[in-house]
Amino acid sequence: MKQIILGITGSIAAYKAADIASRLTKNNILVHTIMTASGTKFITPLTLQTLTKNKVYTDMFEEIYYPDVRHISLAQKADCCVIAPATANIIGKLASGIADDMLSTVIMAIRDKPVIICPAMNTAMYENPVTQNNMDKLRAYGYQFVDPKESRLACGDLGKGALAEVETIVASVKKAIGEE
């Protein structure tokens, strides 16, 4: 059975991660969910745990005994990692090599496996030259992107920055793990 890591960051689009997790699970893909602290403000870990039937990781220093180093073992057993939604914050962290939470640490430990980033943010944030530079830098390292769509955003603006369609994200993950 293929295994993926689903990273969820602090965007209003986080609620769509439940649909992504559900669809991947129904496709017989084992989903390990990692949520940033801000991601848990938009959707609860219990929702993802219920859908995936797996523990949801939110704290790198959680006091639960594991016989392995959790952030390393998750990175090693995953066939792919998808971050949906991905904020400008996580994109900036990864581009700068910052690993200060469970999600960024696991991603930094992934080698030779696809990492798919699905941005979701306000148009001005998405088009900001710093964000664009960070994405270019990550592309040069081999990270893949599923571009956001143009839509009416949560803030009321109309522009590019809305999370890509769930079907598009799921198809990208399935292609990356050879399950098309």
Chain-centroid distance, C-alpha 166: 13
- Check if 155 is active-site: yes
CA–CA separation, 160 and 167 (whole Å): 18
Residue 142 and residue 169 in contact, taking contact as beta carbons nearer than 8 Å: no
Residue in the structure block whose two tokens are 């030259």: 129
Annotated catalytic residue, options 80, 81, 118, 155 = 155
DSSP 8-state class, residue 37: T
Beta strands in the chain (DSSP E): 3-8, 30-35, 56-57, 80-86, 115-119, 144-145, 149-152, 158-162
List residues with catalytic annotation.
Answer: 155
